[in-house]
């Protein structure tokens, strides 16, 4: 049995559609109920829906052999897994944003509000800027408006959230997309099965044109 952790939500639906198109369907998953685990015994597959930010935990600890997680989560938590394939979906970017009029003159410690503490620290260490991190858990955009921080480091997809809160992107930190990840031990013992899934899934990846 191959255990596959899918991120619950819109991205997860797209991910499942790719698995389905690759020949790894599990029809019961389409029955709209509150069930979280679905099996296709004949194909030896078990899918389960987990919170997107938890996928890498299931995969790292071996509760799932395979999973799909955003590059943001992989960069932030650095789970000990194999990152095997860029699925080219769930695309967005990690960015520094601030009020339009904000200019960093580099004079004092920069106050940075974010959920992605590790990514923010690494980014500013890389450019040699002193920062004071303010860890928040959501609604990050409010921080610069209320003067809690100078800037935010957050995910920008369409840019609508920033726009509606009179903020703008100042710098791009890193592009983000969904990645197929594999448990290290599972890859050792289920190599052939996992490699086959990877091969077939790769054919479903759409390139940008
Ligand atoms: C993310 C992010 C922004 C928003 C950006 O939040 O934190 O708030 O999406 O998207 P946009 O550029 O298309 O407006 P998400 O909805 O993932 O949840 P969160 O509030 O828990 O971070």
Tens place of pLDDT per residue across the chain (209 aa): 999 999 999 999 999 999 999 999 998 898 877 889 999 999 999 999 999 999 999 999 999 999 999 999 999 999 999 999 999 999 999 999 999 999 999 999 999 999 999 999 999 999 999 999 999 999 999 999 999 999 999 999 999 999 999 999 999 999 999 999 999 999 999 999 999 999 999 999 998 87
Spacing, Cα 154 to ligand 1 middle (Å): 8
Residue with CA at minimum distance from ligand 1 atom 7:
155
What are 144's two structure tokens?
């610069």
Q: What is the pTM of this model?
A: 0.94
Determine the Cα angle at 11 with ends 8 and 16, to 5°.
Answer: 80
Q: Ligand 1 pocket test: which of 76, 114, 135, 155 has the largest number of ligand atoms within 8 Å of its C-beta?
A: 155
Distance CA 46, CA 1 (A): 7
Q: What is the DSSP letter of 92?
A: E
What residues are in contact with ligand 1 under a 6 Å CB criterion? Answer: 138, 140, 154-161
Residue with CA at minimum distance from ligand 1 atom 6:
155
User: What pLDDT is attached to residue 31?
Assistant: 84
Distance CA 198, CA 97 (A): 36
Spacing, Cα 183 to ligand 1 middle (Å): 28
Is the sign of the CA dihedral 96, 98, 104, 109 positive or negative?
negative
């Amino acid at each position: 049995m191959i255990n596959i952790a899918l991120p619950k939500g819109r991205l997860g639906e797209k991910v499942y559609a790719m698995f389905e198109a690759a020949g790894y369907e599990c029809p019961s998953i389409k029955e709209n109920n509150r069930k979280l685990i679905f099996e296709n015994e004949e194909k030896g597959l078990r899918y389960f829906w987990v919170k997107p930010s938890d996928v890498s935990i299931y995969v790292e600890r071996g509760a799932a052999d395979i999973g799909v997680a955003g590059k943001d989560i992989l960069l932030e938590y650095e789970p000990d897994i194999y990152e095997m394939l860029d699925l080219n979906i769930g695309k967005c970017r990690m960015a520094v944003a601030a009020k339009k009029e904000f200019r960093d003159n580099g004079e004092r410690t920069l106050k940075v509000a974010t959920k992605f503490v590790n990514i923010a620290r690494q980014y500013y260490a890389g450019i040699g800027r002193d920062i004071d991190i303010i860890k928040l858990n959501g609604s990050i955009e409010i921080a610069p408006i209320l003067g809690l921080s100078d800037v935010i480091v957050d995910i920008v997809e369409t840019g609508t959230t920033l726009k509606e809160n009179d903020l703008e992107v100042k710098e791009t930190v890193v592009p983000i997309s969904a990645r197929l990840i594999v448990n290290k031990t599972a890859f050792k013992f289920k190599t052939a099965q996992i490699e086959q899934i990877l091969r077939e899934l790769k054919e479903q990846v759409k390139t940008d044109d």
